[in-house]
A and B are shown apart, each in its own frame.
Chain A
Amino acid sequence: MAEQKSPPEDILNVNNLSFYYGKNLALNQVTLPIRKNRITSLIGPSGCGKTTLLRCFNRMHDLYPNNRYEGEILMNSHNILEKNVDIIALRSSLGMVFQKPTPFPMSVFDNIAYGLKLKNIRNQNTLKEKVEKALRQAALWDEVKDRLKENATGLSGGQQQRLSIARTLAVEPMVMLFDECTSALDPISTQKIEDLIVDLKEEMTIVAVTHNMQQAARISDYTALMYIGKLVEYDETDNIFTRPKNKMTEEYVSGRFG
C-alpha cells in the first residue's frame, strides 16, 4: 500500500516524560511518538508503567494530589502537561476506556448522551442521531436498540464495555486510550472489541495498553515495550515481534520473561 510508505504524521509526541506518584518514580524519561490514524500498543510486564503513561495523555493523574509530571507531551506543538491547559477540553478530545466497564447508573441512552450533554448538545434529534451512530460504531446497536431506556447496569459485561466505548466515541475524540479493556471479558466479546478498534483507526488514533502480546500483534501498527518505568523499544509491530533490536524485547516477546 502506497500510503504506508511515507510515515504517518505524529498526533502526540512524548518527550523525556517522567512521572512521580509522590516520591515514587513511575515513568523514567520516556520518549515516543503516537502516529495519527494508527494503533499503538503499550506492552510490558505488570507494574511497568503502561497505565501510568496512558493516564498522562488525558491528565487523569491530576485528580489525585502529589502527582507530578516532568518533560512534555506535545500535541500540535503545545505541551499538554502545562498548568494552564484546559483539561476539560483536553479530556473531551482524548477519550479513555478503562479496564473494567463503567456504566453510569442511568439508562443506556443517557449513558451515551452523557458526554454530548456536557458539550451542551441538547437537541433531542441530534442526541438521538449521535447516540445511534456511537452505538453502531461500537457494534452494540442491534443488541440494545430496544433497550435504550433500560438501566445500563443490567447489560452483560461485554455489552457494558462496548457501552463504555460507545459513550467515549459519541463525543468524537481525536484519540482513544484503551487500558486493557478486554482483560475482563470472554473471547467473543474480546473479538468484537478488537474488530471495532481496528475499524476505528480510519477516523481516529488509538493507544491501547494490553498485557496480551498476541492482541498487540494482531491489532496494532506500532508497539512500545516498557520495563520498570522505561521505554525498552518502540517500533512497527512487525519489527518488534519478528526483528526486535533489543535483547530484552526479544526475550519478552518470545515469552521468556514477564
Chain B
Amino acid sequence: MSYLKRRKIINILALTISTLCAALGLILLFIILFDVLKEGMESLSFSIFTKDPAPPGREGGLRCAFLGQGLITLIAALVGVPIGVLGGTFLAEYGKDMKLTKFLGRLSDMAMSVPSIVIGAFVYAVLVLPLGGFNGWAGAAALAIIILPIIVRTTADMMSLVPAALREAAFALGASYHKVIVSVVWRSAMSGILTGILLALARVAGETAPLLFTSFNSNHFQLNLNQAVPSLTVSIYQYAASPYESWVKLAWAAAFVITVLVLFLNILGRVVVRLRTKN
C-alpha cells in the first residue's frame, strides 16, 4: 500500500471515529435535554414560582426554594467574585515574577477539580458542626469556594492575553500600576472576565452536593441564613426520589427551570464576548 493511500485511510478512519464520538455525546445530551424539556413543560405551572411547598397531593410550589437558592448564590458571588478577580489579578500582574505565584496558580487549578461534594464535606466540618447545624452561610461558603478558582483562572488568563504594548503605552503616559490595571488591563479583559464569572455562576446554579451538607433545605419560607435555607437543587433531589406523583412532577418542572436558567447564563456569557469583540 502506498504511503499516500495509507494516510488517506487513516484520515477517513480518524474522521469517522471522532464524528461518531461527537454524535454519541450530542445524542446523550439531547436525550437528557429532551426529557427535561418534555416532562418539565408538562408539569410546569406558574404556581411553582408563587406557592411554597405543600404536602403531597396538594398544589404546592417552590417559591421559597428559588429565593433561597438565589440568595445563597448571590452571597457566594458577592464573596467569590471580588476575591476571585483580585486573586487572578495578583497572579497575572503583581505576582507574575514571583516564584510563589506559579505554585499558587497550580493550587488554585487543582481546587477547580476537587469534587463539589468534598467541598461540601469540608464546609460541613468547619462551618456546620461548630455552629451547631445547617445554615445558609455554610451553603454560600461552599458555593464561593467552588467559583473562586474558576474566576481566579479565567481572570488571570484573560489579563495575560492583554498585549504588553497596551500596558506599556499606559505606563509611558505616567500611569501608576494600579491605574494601568484598572483602566486598561481590566477594561481590555472585561468581556473575558465577565464570561468567566457567568460560567462560574452557571456551574454552581445547578449544584446539589455542596448544599446537601451545608445549607441543606427547608420547606418553609425562611431566608434566615443562620438556619437551613430552602434550596431548589436539594428540593429537586428530594422530590424526584419521593414516591408522590405531585412531588415528582414539581421536581421535573424545577429541573426544567434550572436548565433554562443555566442555558441562559451560558448564552449570556457568549453574547457578552460577541458584543465586546465586535467593536
List A residues at the B interface (Cβ < 8 Å): 58, 60, 63-65, 88-89, 91-92, 95-96, 98-100, 102, 104-106, 114-115, 118-119, 151, 153-154, 164, 167-168, 171
Given contacts A92-B173, A95-B173, A102-B169, 8 further A-B contacts (CB under 8 A): A91-B171, A104-B166, A104-B183, A105-B184, A105-B190, A106-B187, A115-B173, A171-B174
Please give me the residue from chain A that is nearest to B166 by CB atom.
Answer: A102
Contact, CB under 8 Å: A115 / B174: yes
CA of A154 to CA of B187 in the docked complex: distance in angstroms?
16
Please give me the residue from chain B that is nearest to A98 by CB atom.
Answer: B165
CA of A88 to CA of B179 in the docked complex: distance in angstroms?
12
CA of A220 to CA of B252 in the docked complex: distance in angstroms?
77
11 contacts between A and B (CB under 8 A): A88-B176, A98-B172, A102-B163, A106-B183, A114-B183, A115-B173, A115-B174, A118-B173, A153-B279, A168-B172, A168-B173
Q: Answer whether residue B86 sits at the interface, using C-beta atoms and an 8 A cutoff.
A: no
Residues of chain A lying within 8 A (CB to CB) of residue B174 = 88-89, 91-92, 115, 118-119, 171
Q: Answer whether residue B219 sits at the interface, using C-beta atoms and an 8 A cutoff.
A: no
Please give me the residue from chain B that is nearest to A154 by CB atom.
Answer: B279
Residues of chain B lying within 8 A (CB to CB) of residue A89 = 174
Q: Answer whether residue B188 sits at the interface, using C-beta atoms and an 8 A cutoff.
A: yes
Q: A176 → chain B, closest Cβ, in Å?
A: 11
Q: A225 → chain B, closest Cβ, in Å?
A: 25
CA of A92 to CA of B179 in the docked complex: distance in angstroms?
14
Residues of chain B lying within 8 A (CB to CB) of residue A168 = 172-173
CA of A129 to CA of B27 in the docked complex: distance in angstroms?
62
> Which B81-112 residues have a C-beta within 8 angstroms of A?
97
Contact, CB under 8 Å: A151 / B172: no
List B residues at the A interface (Cβ < 8 Å): 97, 163, 165-176, 179, 183-184, 187-188, 190, 279
Residues of chain B lying within 8 A (CB to CB) of residue A65 = 97
Nearest first, the 4 closest Cβ-Cβ pairs linking A and B are A92-B174, A102-B169, A115-B173, A96-B172
Residues of chain A lying within 8 A (CB to CB) of residue B175 = 88, 114, 118
CA of A113 to CA of B174 in the docked complex: distance in angstroms?
13
CA of A92 to CA of B175 in the docked complex: distance in angstroms?
9
Contact, CB under 8 Å: B184 / A63: no
Residues of chain B lying within 8 A (CB to CB) of residue A104 = 166, 169-170, 183-184, 187-188
CA of A167 to CA of B175 in the docked complex: distance in angstroms?
13
Residues of chain A lying within 8 A (CB to CB) of residue B169 = 96, 98, 102, 104, 164, 167
Residues of chain B lying within 8 A (CB to CB) of residue A64 = 97
Q: A205 → chain B, closest Cβ, in Å?
A: 16
Contact, CB under 8 Å: B172 / A100: no
Contact of B188 among A98, A99, A105, A167 (CB under 8 A): A105
Please give me the residue from chain A that is nearest to B173 by CB atom.
Answer: A115
Contact, CB under 8 Å: A63 / B97: no
Please give me the residue from chain B that is nearest to A99 by CB atom.
Answer: B165
Contact of B173 among A100, A105, A171 (CB under 8 A): A171
Please give me the residue from chain A that is nearest to B172 by CB atom.
Answer: A96
CA of A102 to CA of B168 in the docked complex: distance in angstroms?
9
Please give me the residue from chain B that is nearest to A115 by CB atom.
Answer: B173
Please give me the residue from chain B that is nearest to A92 by CB atom.
Answer: B174
Q: A80 → chain B, closest Cβ, in Å?
A: 14
Contact, CB under 8 Å: B165 / A102: yes
Q: A67 → chain B, closest Cβ, in Å?
A: 12
Contact, CB under 8 Å: A118 / B179: yes
Residues of chain B lying within 8 A (CB to CB) of residue A118 = 173-175, 179
Contact, CB under 8 Å: B172 / A91: yes
Please give me the residue from chain A that is nearest to B171 by CB atom.
Answer: A63
Instruction: Tell me whether A63 and B168 are in contact in the complex, defined as CB-CB below 8 angstroms, given that A114-B183, A154-B279 are known contacts.
Output: yes
Q: B120 → chain A, closest Cβ, in Å?
A: 40
Residues of chain A lying within 8 A (CB to CB) of residue B190 = 105
Please give me the residue from chain B that is nearest to A100 by CB atom.
Answer: B165
Please give me the residue from chain A that is nearest to B176 by CB atom.
Answer: A88
Residues of chain A lying within 8 A (CB to CB) of residue B163 = 102
CA of A17 to CA of B175 in the docked complex: distance in angstroms?
26
Residues of chain B lying within 8 A (CB to CB) of residue A92 = 173-174
Q: A154 → chain B, closest Cβ, in Å?
A: 6
Residues of chain B lying within 8 A (CB to CB) of residue A151 = 279
Residues of chain B lying within 8 A (CB to CB) of residue A167 = 169, 173
Contact, CB under 8 Å: A114 / B170: yes
CA of A164 to CA of B167 in the docked complex: distance in angstroms?
13
Residues of chain B lying within 8 A (CB to CB) of residue A102 = 163, 165-166, 168-169
